[in-house]
Copies of this chain bind each other. A is one copy, B any other.
Amino acid sequence: MNPAVNTKHHLEAIKAIQNKLLGKKLTYREVFNLMNEISHKRLSDILTTYFVAASFKEGFSTEELVYLTRAMVETGTKLNFKGIVADKHSTGGVAGTRTTMIIVPIIAAAGFKIPKTSSRAITTPAGTADVMELLGNVMISERKIESIVNDIGGCIVWGGHLGIAPADDIIIKIEEPLSFESFDKVIVSIMAKKVAASTNHLILDIPVGKTMKIRHFEDAEKVAKKFRMIGKHFDMEVITDISETFEPAGRGVGPYLEAKDVLEVLEQKKDRPLKLEAKALRLAGKLLTICFKDAHINKSGEEEARRILSERIALKKFKEIIKAQGGDDQVTSDNFKTKAHKKEVLPKKNGTIKEINNYNLNSVAKILGAPEDKYAGIYLLKKVDEKVEKKEPLLLFYSQDRYRIKEAEVTLQNMPIYEID
């Protein structure tokens, strides 16, 4: 390595940060150099912070957002696929809504590639990677991911160790202490990871609600528009699904309980969580529709998604994925047992459930030990609009640590999950 060249790049990065701090727009050369320095850990935390801070108030122009996305992709690992490559993403933050693990086998069974890289828990008590880890290995190399997806169509792995858009991961660490991330920055983070995975068809789930990450429909529309706009620059068709969200779509919250919800839907069990199924079908249907269109196949996305699920073709595909990721493909919702202690929680009064507080739900589930304790979590026996009676259990607490169950009971007094009227 030529030290003279490094000094030059380092000085250019400092100059670019100064420029951004002074309100100037950055060129692609400047942005690329910055992301390259950051991704190779050649920029100190202090200098990276100056760059992040510079973008808070002024934000980025459309061009800068595209430059950032492209530069984050170019300075990291790529997953290379040909043809139609589908993906699903949620702006997230809603507990107990594990649609990904239902959508991926449906899309793969329909004949399209869907190399899903998921995150671990950030704000919720479980990320998709935490849930999938109970069923198979999620730390898989890029070359292995490419072979699994080319072979059986889909995978559900953890994206964190792959070095995809590594500059983004470093920037996110700098943002944590301030608890402050702009919508613009969230969009760039997501899109960089999609572009690096060769995605060209994306369904984006944007839940809106009082206790969700995005609280207002106007904000959701703005975010959706920016996603579509950046998608256009990378030849990616982006379909957005904005939905008002009051509660988890499934019944389980926490890795084991969410995996069980997913298995019940794929197995088409009689008492499966129908709201979770409906949401997964709607998203899978929309995604299939754009895939069919571009593949010149004359089929209805939603109908095909429903057929694949109800005929248990998705279940079969899911087991292929589990096997390819080194898991036990004999697993069923019945033989998949918890190791946790259980405690029933009764309502304090009779009435009807008006609301479920997503923040409090996340917090209490974490107190129970999720996601580290994969069997910890909350099972919601009752959902919004249902009538409850004092003697009938409302929810179940699960944890491998009895002390944590007691602590969750105490916490529930100050952080109620249900509002009953």
> Measuring CB to CB, which residues of chain A are less than 8 angstroms from any residue of chain B?
14, 17-18, 21-23, 44-47, 49-50, 52-54, 56-58, 174, 177-180
Contact = CB atoms under 8 A, between A and B. Distances in A.
Contact of A177 (B22, B44, B57): B44
Nearest to A50: B53
B174 A21 contact: no
B178 A56 contact: no
Contacts of A46: 45-46, 49, 174, 177-178
A50 B178 contact: yes
Given A18-B180, A53-B54, 14 more contacts: A14-B177, A14-B179, A21-B56, A21-B57, A21-B180, A22-B56, A44-B177, A45-B45, A45-B46, A45-B49, A49-B53, A50-B53, A53-B53, A54-B57
10 contacts: A14-B177, A45-B46, A45-B49, A46-B46, A46-B49, A47-B177, A49-B49, A50-B52, A50-B53, A57-B57
Contacts of A180: 18, 21
A4 to B, nearest CB: 16
Nearest to A44: B177
A178 B57 contact: no
B57 A18 contact: no
| A17, A18, A21, A52 interface centre (most CB from chain B within 10 Å) | A21
Contacts of A57: 21-23, 54, 57-58
A44 B176 CA distance: 12
Contacts of A45: 45-46, 49
| A14, A17, A23, A177 interface centre (most CB from chain B within 10 Å) | A177
A264 to B, nearest CB: 41
A45 B49 CA distance: 9
A22 to B, nearest CB: 6
A23 B57 CA distance: 7
B178 A47 contact: yes
Contacts of A52: 50
Contacts of A53: 21, 49-50, 53-54
A262 to B, nearest CB: 37
Nearest to A56: B21
| A21, A50, A53, A180 interface centre (most CB from chain B within 10 Å) | A53
Contacts of A21: 53, 56-57, 180
Contacts of A17: 178
Contacts of A178: 14, 17-18, 46-47, 50
A191 to B, nearest CB: 24
Contacts of A54: 53, 56-57
A57 B47 CA distance: 16
Nearest to A21: B56
Nearest to A45: B46
